[in-house]
Amino acid sequence: MKYHSLLTASPGLNTLPTNPCKLLDFNLLKLADGETYNVKSEGREVLAVILGGKATFTVNGITFEKVGGRPNVFNGKPHSVYIPAGAECKIQAEGAVEIGLPSAPSDDITIKPYVINPSQVANGVWGAAKSAAKRPECFSPGACFNNKTRKSAATSVPLWTSPIPTTSPPTSSTNFAV
């Protein structure tokens, strides 16, 4: 079974050509200044992780202006926007922007959208032995994975980890581990 896919970084929405994961998915959105992307999250919760640049998000009528700011994934921790299941979302680029869009199934439509600032992002060590590396963790630790209790008791926030490329800074394509 193939567990890695080459994800292009073309303008617009980039999807994985194959995805062996039954629950998790990942897309890359690349917009030029002023471009917009509209999406309905249906039965999936989405974490919009700003890989580089800034964007304004309107999620279910709530607007988060000019989220982001780092030039690329190698310059600090990310800003992120949590997009709950069943939400309508408009993303507008404030300059060129690249956004990672990991998602997972969810039937909880009661969570409101919110922004996660870099100061709220902890570091963790992921992997083992020679593959262990420090990476930012976009959501709080201590979450469970069953559908009823997967939120941290302290913050009611789902658990996600920001996508980090396994190669040098993005050019025309980026490798992401799935």
Indicate whether 133 belongs to any domain. Answer: no
Number of structural domains the chain divides into: 1
Indicate whether 162 belongs to any domain. Answer: no
pLDDT tens digits, 33-75 = 999 999 999 999 999 999 999 999 999 999 999 999 999 999 9
How far is Cα 161 from Cα 123, in angstroms, rounded to an integer? 10
How far is Cα 66 from Cα 70, in angstroms, rounded to an integer? 12
- This prediction has a pTM of 0.74
Q: Are 82 and 158 in contact (CB under 8 A)?
A: yes
Indicate whether 131 belongs to any domain. Answer: no
pLDDT tens digits, 123-169 = 877 777 777 777 666 654 332 222 333 333 333 333 344 333 333 33
Domain of 50, CATH number, reads 2.60.120.10
Indicate whether 159 belongs to any domain. Answer: no
> 54 lies in which domain range?
4-116
Region 113-130 average pLDDT: 86
Indicate whether 57 belongs to any domain. Answer: yes
Indicate whether 137 belongs to any domain. Answer: no
Nearest to 91 by CA among 159, 40, 164: 40
